[in-house]
Each structure stands twice: as C-alpha cells, then as structure tokens.
C-alpha cells in the first residue's frame, strides 16, 4: 500500500495536489507488536521460510546460499526478510564481518510459554507478554557475532565490530535496530543492538536517517503521535543467562528447564506444598523438636557415584551430521504423502537471461518449459551451481520439471490414464516430485517430446550427469535394474537432491533411495537400542570450532529419527 500526505491548496479556484511526506511503505512490513497494539493469538505472518544453514566448500565459499546459524533447530523468517538477511550476511562477509542468526519468528503460544517460564524463574527483564513480541511478526531477527553465538548478549554488542557494522549498514538491506538507545518510552523495550527488524529498504533508510523508532514512523504515516509505553526494568547483570527475550528462548529457557529438572531430582519428597518449601529455604536453620530422635540430625550416607555414561559410536558409512531428514524424505507407493503436504522453502526457478555474448545476466538457469517451475531452496541452489559448472565444461542443461502439488499430480495421473504414451506416472501422493527435491534435467535435444532412457543416458548430457550429479547432492532417483525396488523404470533424467555425502555414497554403492533408507533406519535402531541419543550426537557433531565451516541441518533444521512422512 502506498501512503502519502496530501496537501490541498486552494488558489484562484483551482485545487493542487502536493505529495509531501513519506514515500512508499508496505503495511505488511510495518506491523507493530507492542503494549498498545498487541497481535492476536491467531496472527501468523504469511510466507514463513526456514533459514538454510550454510555449507562451505574447502575454500570457505558459500555453496548453498545459506547463513551461519548460532542455534540448532528451526529458525524461520518471512521470505522477504530472509532473502534480505542472506544478502546482508553476504555483504558483511565481503567487508570481513561474519554474522550469525540466533533467533527469528516465534508464535504466540511459544512466546506465552517463554513468558511464563521467565516469570517463574524471575527473569522477566526484556521478555514481552504473548502478543507484544516483535518476533511474532516473522520480520525480526537476532543477529550476532562469533562471540555472542551462545550465552548472554549485552548492550556492549553495539560496540563490537559486528554491532557497528549492523548499525551502519542494516538499513541498506531493509533492516532497522528495532529497539534503539534512548527510545525506551516509545518502544517499551530496552536498547537491543542485536535485534533487527525488516521493514523494507525505503522505510529502513527513512527511519535510520531520521533516528526515529518504528512506532514513530508508523504514527507519522497515520498522522498521529506515538503512544508513551511503559519503560521496562533494566536487565539483571547476569552472565549465565541472556538478558533479551529471544535469547531467553534459546538459552535461558533451557537453563530454567535444566535447573527445574535438577531441583526435582535433588529435592527430597515432602508433604508440604511447594510454596511452603520455598519459604522454608529463606528461614534460619530449623531447630528440631525436643522429642525428635538424634539420629534424624545425622547426615545421610553419600550415595555411590553414578557410573560414567557409555558413549555409543555411530556405526554407518555416512555421518549423522551429513544426513538431513529434510533431504531424505522417501515418497513412493509404500510411503505416500497426504493432500496437505507441502515442502518448506519452495522457490521459483529463475529463467536465464543472456546478453549478446551469451553471458548469464541474472544467474538464472535454462528452463525448457513455460510456466512456473519450483524446487526447495537447497535443491535449487545446488542445481544452479551444477548447471554453471556444466556450462563451463561445454555442457548445456535444461530443467524440464520440478515440484508438483498433490492436485497437480492427480491431474497428471488422470490424464496419463487416457493416453497410450504417457509413460510411468505415479498416483497423487506417491510421486517423488511432490518432495520439492526432484527435478527433470535434460539436454537441448530433449527439451520437448518423449524421453528415451537409452537415448538420454548415452547422450553427452546424460553421461555428464551420471559422472557429476552426486558432487552437487543429486542421485538418479530411478536407476537402471532397480525397478522392483523403486517401483519405477530407469529414468536417467530424474534427479533427486539428497545432499552431497549421501548422494556420493548411494551412487558409489549402486543403491536406491529405498535401500539407503532401510540401511540407515537399521543403523539408527541399533544406535538407539544401545543407548545412543540421535539428536545429541548430531548436535555435538555440528558444533563448530569457528565460523569457517558449518555442517548443514537442512532447511528446517530438524533432526528426527523417523524417515517417513506421516
């Protein structure tokens, strides 16, 4: 929506319209969550995507267009904010500044749980009630440097190299410091130099250049004055827990849970209510009653020391941290997806534009069909890189198909039943293309018309893909001679993204995704039965010594034992 201040001048009976004020502003990017304008429990922002954890090659180049994540698990942002964040992180790196994403979107219920736990642990400083939290907009992020990846973040972050870079450059990418210094009565929150908020480039530059708050900016657009908000209490001077709300979510909340668990384990059983027990802790040492046996005063004997836990080794050729559940979804007749399934992080493929010399002007790829073609972001990034390398070696590749929704697949299947030359088509729910990780890749001669496995596999493009696709994380989903396992005939053009290490292992051992999945599940079952913790093992393996290389957790950041979509 375009906002304008309109000034009407009456002169000699003529009306002149003069636009004077703040230029273009998108209401969706200017939503304010605070004490005066809280968000409802039902409010969920549109277009949430999961941040992709960055993967580097041996030269520390970003090979998947990801960002450094300071936490395990899913971090989400609205797509415009995330795209701008990726652009900003890349620019910072060019300036020698390495940034980490530590927190993003938080739902109403998550904030409500966080607030209650923070209140219970007397750590409410910097934590807003549900509905008043900027993170519920999906446009807010905690961005820090290497030193702030864990533990407390203080105002001193604003004086660090990373904090100063953000203050100087965030507006260039559409971000503002959401809670600036000295504006507590307008924002209702203490200064947080790490808390950035996406508002779009136009609004961000206007806010930054005038030194106002988001509240003041929106009030100006509406022709009002910003409301005076309650100034929060100063954050406690602690080092074992973060002082801000987003980091309570990632760190303090875990600390609180751990302390509660330890207290429950260590506390002796008592008949008194919990509140009474808490009061007793503040009283002087109790005096035993006269008839209390002396033995009662004796300290109990020390319990024997607990045995050291046995470390269970992961016994499988591919390391746990090299396998992302998001990339390994198995879809076939035995493991269908339902009508509601839509993969995360779908991106529209950009059709390539060339200049007069044939140079790629927009970092696009050759698309053999009209209309929209989509892939999950990680698969798209890998495909783009593979196409560029192929072209540098004289191989020109084209995309002929990508993601299909349940409805799309149902229509294709119905049409295939009426055609004698439709070839192999799965029913809706059983198609690999519904994962968003599958793509049809062909050469110039196969851009249209029926595909022949024999012809394409012997073509220069088919031979190149066979030798090189695994280097970029792709396998041939339906390999030759495995029809009875995959349920589909040989299709050398049908590639499936599974991640580099998995793709290389599957290809080297002539396996199908079905065979790999079964072997991996068996290894996981043995690991868990022996006392291993899948999540802990992955987390431990993924904690890097520094920012040089971070193993991916996949677009959604989840680590789950099950391999199949329910």
Its sign, for the CA torsion 514, 517, 518, 519, is positive
Q: Over pLDDT 90: what percentage of the chain? A: 50
Which segments within 120-165 are labelled E, that is strand? 140-144
Contacts of 331 (CB under 8 A, 6+ apart): 337, 429, 430, 431, 432, 434, 435, 565
φ and ψ of 298, to 5 deg: -70, 140
CA–CA dist 472, 437 (Å, integer): 13
Under 8 Å between Cβ of 248 and 123: yes
CA–CA dist 106, 382 (Å, integer): 29
pLDDT of residue 324: 85
Q: Which of 88, 102, 93, 95 is nearest to 140 (CA)?
A: 102
Query: Given pLDDT bands bounded at 50, 70 and 90, which one contains residue 123?
Result: confident
How far, in whole angstroms, is CA 546 from its chain's centroid? 20
pLDDT of residue 243: 36
pLDDT digits (tens, 9 = 90+) for 62-110: 777 789 998 877 899 999 999 999 999 999 999 999 999 999 999 999 9
pLDDT of residue 302: 53
Top pLDDT among 308 and 39 is at: 39
pLDDT digits (tens, 9 = 90+) for 237-283: 333 333 333 344 333 444 334 444 444 444 444 444 343 333 343 33
| Other C-beta atoms lying within 10 Å of the C-beta of residue 16 | 9
CA–CA dist 412, 425 (Å, integer): 8
pLDDT digits (tens, 9 = 90+) for 362-404: 778 999 988 889 999 899 999 999 999 999 999 999 999 999 9
Q: Is the pLDDT of residue 172 over 60?
A: yes
| Other C-beta atoms lying within 10 Å of the C-beta of residue 34 | 22
**Which residue in this structure is represented by tokens 């677009």?**
555
Under 8 Å between Cβ of 139 and 198: yes
pLDDT of residue 450: 86
CA–CA dist 373, 236 (Å, integer): 51
φ and ψ of 215, to 5 deg: -60, -45
pLDDT digits (tens, 9 = 90+) for 186-234: 898 999 999 999 999 999 999 999 999 999 999 888 887 777 676 655 4
Contacts of 132 (CB under 8 A, 6+ apart): 33, 34, 35, 38, 39, 188
Query: Given pLDDT bands bounded at 50, 70 and 90, which one contains residue 296?
Result: very low
pLDDT of residue 309: 53
Helix, strand, or coil here: 165? helix
pLDDT digits (tens, 9 = 90+) for 307-358: 555 678 888 999 888 888 889 999 999 999 999 999 988 999 998 888 888 7
The model carries a pTM of 0.48
Distances (CA, A) of 490 to 331, 335, 481: 17, 20, 7
Helix, strand, or coil here: 8? strand
Under 8 Å between Cβ of 375 and 403: yes
How far, in whole angstroms, is CA 456 from its chain's centroid? 37
């Amino acid at each position: 929506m375009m906002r304008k201040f309109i000034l009407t001048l009456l002169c000699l009976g003529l009306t002149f319209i003069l636009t004077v004020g703040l230029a273009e502003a998108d209401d969706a990017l200017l939503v304010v969550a605070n004490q005066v304008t809280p968000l409802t429990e039902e409010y969920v922002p549109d277009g949430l995507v999961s941040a992709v954890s960055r993967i580097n090659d041996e030269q520390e180049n970003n090979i998947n267009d990801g960002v450094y994540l300071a936490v395990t698990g899913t971090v989400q942002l609205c797509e415009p904010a995330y795209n701008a964040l990726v652009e900003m992180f890349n620019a910072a790196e060019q300036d020698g500044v390495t940034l980490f994403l530590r927190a993003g979107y938080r739902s109403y219920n998550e904030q409500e749980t966080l607030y209650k736990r923070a209140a219970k642990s007397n750590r409410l400083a910097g934590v807003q009630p549900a509905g008043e939290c900027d993170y519920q907009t999906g446009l807010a992020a905690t961005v820090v440097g290497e030193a702030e990846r864990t533990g407390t973040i203080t105002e001193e972050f604003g004086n660090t190299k990373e904090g100063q870079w953000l203050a100087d450059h965030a507006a260039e990418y559409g971000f503002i410091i959401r809670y600036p210094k000295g504006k507590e009565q307008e924002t209702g929150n203490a200064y947080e130099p790490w808390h950035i908020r996406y508002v779009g480039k136009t609004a961000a530059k206007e806010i930054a250049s005038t030194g106002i708050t988001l509240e003041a900016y929106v009030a100006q657009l509406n022709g009002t004055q910003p409301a005076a908000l309650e100034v929060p209490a100063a954050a406690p001077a602690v080092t074992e827990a973060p002082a801000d709300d987003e980091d309570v979510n990632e760190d303090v909340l875990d600390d609180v849970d751990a302390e509660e668990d330890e207290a429950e384990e260590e506390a002796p059983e008592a008949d008194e209510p919990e509140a009474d027990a808490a009061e007793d802790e503040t009283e002087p040492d109790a005096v035993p009653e006269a008839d209390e046996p002396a033995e009662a005063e004796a300290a109990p004997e020390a319990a024997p020391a607990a045995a050291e836990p046995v470390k269970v080794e992961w016994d499988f050729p591919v390391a746990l941290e090299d396998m992302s559940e998001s990339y390994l979804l198995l879809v076939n007749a035995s493991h269908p997806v339902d009508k509601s399934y839509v993969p995360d992080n779908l991106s529209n493929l950009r059709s390539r534009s060339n200049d007069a010399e044939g140079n790629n002007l927009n970092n696009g790829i050759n698309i053999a069909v009209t209309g929209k073609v989509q892939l999950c972001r990680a698969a798209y990034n890998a495909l783009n890189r593979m196409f560029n390398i192929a072209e540098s070696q004289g191989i020109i590749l084209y995309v002929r198909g990508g993601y299909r929704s349940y409805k799309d697949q149902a229509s294709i299947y119905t049409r295939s039943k009426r055609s004698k030359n439709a070839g192999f088509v799965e029913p809706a729910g059983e198609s690999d293309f519904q994962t968003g990780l599958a793509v049809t890749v062909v050469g110039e001669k196969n851009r249209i018309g029926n595909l022949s496995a024999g012809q394409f596999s012997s073509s220069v493009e088919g031979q190149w893909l066979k030798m090189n696709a695994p280097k970029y994380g792709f396998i041939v989903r339906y390999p030759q001679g495995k029809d009875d396992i995959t349920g589909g005939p040989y299709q050398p053009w049908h590639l499936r993204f599974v991640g580099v290490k998995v793709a290389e292992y599957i290809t080297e051992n002539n396996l199908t995704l079905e065979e790999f999945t079964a072997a991996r599940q068996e290894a996981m079952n043995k690991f868990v039965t022996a006392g291993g913790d899948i999540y802990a093992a992955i987390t431990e393996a993924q904690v890097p010594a520094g920012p040089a290389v971070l193993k991916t957790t996949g677009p959604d950041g989840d680590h789950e034992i099950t391999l199949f979509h329910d």
